[in-house]
Amino acid sequence: MIAALLACAALAWSAGIAVAQGQAQPAGAGPAGSASGAVRSADATALHSERFNRLAEELRCLVCQNQTLADSNAGLAGDLRKEVEAQIAQGKSDDQIKAYLVERYGDFVLYRPPVQGNTVLLWLGPFALLAVGAAAWLVVQRRGRERRAELVPTGDDDRERARRMLD
Per the prediction, the chain carries an average pLDDT of 76
Section 128-137 average pLDDT? 96
Phi and psi at residue 31, to the nearest 5° = -65, -30
Residue 96 contacts residue 51 (beta carbons within 8 Å):
no
Q: Where are the alpha helices (DSSP H) in the chain?
A: 2-20, 35-58, 75-89, 94-105, 120-151, 156-166
Model pTM score:
0.50
Q: What is the pLDDT of residue 93?
A: 92
Measured CA to CA, the distance from residue 28 to residue 133 in angstroms comes to 69
pLDDT of 136 > 90? The answer is yes
Beta-ladder partners of 15: none
- Lowest mean per-residue pLDDT among 1-5, 47-51, 64-68, 129-133: 1-5
* Crossing angle between the packed helical segments 75-89 and 35-58, to the nearest 10 degrees: 140
